[in-house]
C-alpha cells in the first residue's frame, strides 16, 4: 500500500477545521456566554477581558483569592450590579439563552426569575416556612391554594428539606438551623422555575454536615439547573463542580474541567492557589 504525501497535511487541516467548528458549536450551545467583558467600579477596573462559556446543566465553580472579582462576575449574570451606582460594564457582552442581557429590551424582573441567586448568608423572610416559598409565586399572582401547596412541597423536596419541615410549615423560618435556612433559600429560588442558580459562597456559614447536605443538593439540582457557585473551599469546588474557573486580580487565569484543574492544572498560579501555596 502506498501513501500519498498530501494525506497527513490534508488530514491535519481537516482536524483543525473540525475543532474550530466544534468550538463554535460549543459556544453557541452554551447557556451563558461572556465575551470580552471589562467591568469597572468607578475608575477601578474589577474584571479584565473575561471570556467564558457555561453549558446547560453543568456546575461551574468560581475560585480565586478574595477581591479577584468572583462575586462581581456572578452578579453580572442577573444584573445585580445595577444596584451599585458606580458599577458599569465598559466593554463586552453577556448572552444568556442567546439574548444579550444588557440590551434595552431585557425585562430585569423576568431575567431574575430565570437566573436565581443564593447568597452567602441565608436570608429567609421573617415569615413562615410555607410563605417563604409561596411568596414569589403570590407576587406573580398565583392564588390557587392547591397549586401553591404543590409548589411548596415540590421545592422543599427538591431542596432535600421536606422530611425535616413538613410538620411545621407554618413556623417562622428564622427558627430553623443555619443549614436548613440555606436549603430553604435554595428551595425559594427554585419556586419561580429558574434555569440558572447562582450561589455565592452558600456554605461558608455552615457546619460540615449542613455543607455536605447542600453539596448533595447541588449534585441533585444539576440534572435540572445550570449552576454557578463561588466558593473559597477548594474541596467543595472539586467535589461539586464539572468545570472550574480560577480568577486572579480580575482576570480569568484558567478554565477547565474540574478533574483537570485539580489533577493537572496548566497554569502554575492555579496550582499554587489550589494547593494553598499562594503568595
Partner 1 sequence: MKRFFDDEIKDLRSKIILMGDKVTEMTNEAITALIEGNVDLAKKVIGTDDEVDNLEVEIDNDAVRYISLRAPVAKDVRIVTICMKISNNLERIGDEATSIAKRVLKLGRQKPPNSFLELGILSELAVKALRLSLESYIEGDAVLAKDLPGQDKELDRLHRKNYDGFTELISQNSEFSAQFVELILASKSLERIGDHASNIAVEVYYLLEAKDLRHHGIADK
Give contact residues for partner 1 (rule: CB under 8 A): 209, 212-213, 215-216, 219, 235, 238-239, 258-259, 262-263
- Residue 71 makes contact with Mg ion by CB under 5 A: yes
Q: CA angle, 44 as apex, 39 and 49 as ends, to 5°?
A: 35
In contact, 27 and 98? CB cutoff 8 Å: no
C-alpha pair distances (Å), 29 with each of 15, 93, 150, 203, 241: 21, 16, 33, 30, 19
Across the strands, what pairs with 100?
Answer: 95
φ, ψ at 130 (rounded to 5°): -60, -50
Q: Does 231 bind ligand ATP (CB under 6 A)?
A: no
Binding segment toward Mg ion, per CB under 5 A, in 64-72, 122-130, 165-173, 238-246: 64-72
Residue 258's binding partner out of ligand ATP, partner 1, Mg ion, none, with CB under 5 to 8 Å set by partner kind: partner 1
Reference 245, options 64, 71, 73; nearest CA is 64
Of 266, 246, 264, whose CA–CA distance to 255 is shortest?
246
Contacted entry of Mg ion, partner 1, ligand ATP, none for residue 114, CB cut-off 5 to 8 Å set by kind: none
State how far the Cα of 262 lies from the Cα of 61, in Å rounded to an integer.
12
Residue 136 near which of Mg ion, partner 1, ligand ATP, none (CB within 5-8 Å, type-dependent): none
Least distance (Å) from ligand ATP to the CB of residue 242?
21
Q: Which is nearer to ligand ATP, 68 or 238 (CB)?
A: 68
Angle between helices 178-191 and 208-221 (to 10 degrees): 20
Strand 226-230 and strand 59-63: pairing?
parallel
Q: Closest distance between ligand ATP and the C-beta of residue 42, in Å? A: 7
Indicate the residue among 89 and 234 with the shorter CB distance to partner 1. Answer: 234
Closest to ligand ATP by CB, 73 vs 221, is 73
**99 interface partner picked from Mg ion, partner 1, ligand ATP, none, CB below 5 to 8 A per type:** none
Residue 141 in 3-state DSSP? Answer: coil
For residue 238, the minimal CB distance to partner 1 (Å) is: 4
At 88, phi and psi to the nearest 5? -155, 145
In the region spanning residues 66 to 125, those forming contacts with ligand ATP, defined by CB under 6 A, are 66-72, 84
Least gap, CB of 230 to Mg ion (angstroms): 6
- The CA distance from 276 to 279, in Å, is 9
Query: What is the nearest approach in angstroms of ligand ATP to the Cβ of residue 112?
Result: 18
Distance of closest approach, residue 259 Cβ to partner 1, in angstroms: 6
**CB 71 within 8 Å of CB 200:** yes
CA distances (Å), origin 241, targets 61, 177, 184, 221: 6, 26, 21, 12
Stretch binding ligand ATP (CB under 6 A), from 63-71, 211-219, 233-241, 269-277: 63-71
Q: 180 vs 244, which CB is nearer to ligand ATP?
A: 244
Q: How far is the CB of 116 from partner 1 (least distance, A)?
A: 22
Give the separation between CA 242 and CA 97, rounded to whole angstroms.
20
The site for Mg ion (CB under 5 A) is made up of 71
The site for ligand ATP (CB under 6 A) is made up of 41, 46, 64, 66-72, 84
Amino acid at each position: 500500500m502506498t501513501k500519498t504525501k498530501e494525506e497527513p497535511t490534508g488530514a491535519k487541516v481537516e482536524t483543525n477545521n473540525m475543532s474550530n467548528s466544534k468550538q463554535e458549536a460549543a459556544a453557541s450551545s452554551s447557556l451563558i456566554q461572556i465575551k470580552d467583558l471589562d467591568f469597572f467600579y468607578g475608575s477601578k477596573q474589577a474584571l479584565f477581558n473575561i471570556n467564558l462559556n457555561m453549558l446547560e446543566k453543568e456546575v461551574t465553580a468560581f475560585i480565586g483569592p478574595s477581591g479577584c472579582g468572583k462575586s462581581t462576575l456572578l452578579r453580572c449574570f442577573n444584573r445585580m450590579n445595577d444596584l451599585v451606582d458606580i458599577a458599569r460594564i465598559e466593554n463586552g457582552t453577556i448572552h444568556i439563552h442567546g439574548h444579550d442581557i444588557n440590551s434595552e429590551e431585557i425585562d430585569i424582573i423576568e431575567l431574575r426569575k430565570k437566573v436565581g441567586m443564593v447568597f452567602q448568608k441565608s436570608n429567609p423572610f421573617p415569615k413562615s416556612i410555607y410563605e417563604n416559598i409561596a411568596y414569589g409565586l403570590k407576587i406573580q399572582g398565583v392564588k390557587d391554594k392547591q397549586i401553591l401547596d404543590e409548589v411548596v412541597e415540590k421545592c422543599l423536596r427538591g431542596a432535600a428539606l421536606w422530611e425535616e419541615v413538613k410538620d411545621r410549615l407554618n413556623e417562622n423560618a428564622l427558627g430553623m438551623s443555619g443549614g436548613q435556612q440555606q436549603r430553604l433559600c435554595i428551595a425559594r429560588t427554585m419556586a419561580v422555575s429558574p434555569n440558572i442558580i447562582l450561589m455565592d459562597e452558600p456554605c461558608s456559614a455552615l457546619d460540615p454536615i449542613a455543607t455536605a447536605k447542600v453539596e448533595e443538593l447541588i449534585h441533585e439540582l444539576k440534572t435540572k439547573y445550570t449552576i454557578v457557585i463561588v466558593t473559597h473551599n477548594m474541596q467543595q469546588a472539586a467535589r461539586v463542580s464539572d468545570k472550574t474557573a480560577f480568577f486572579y486580580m480580575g482576570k480569568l487565569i484558567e478554565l477547565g474541567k474540574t478533574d483537570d484543574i485539580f489533577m493537572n492544572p496548566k497554569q502554575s498560579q492555579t496550582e499554587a492557589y489550589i494547593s494553598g501555596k499562594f503568595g
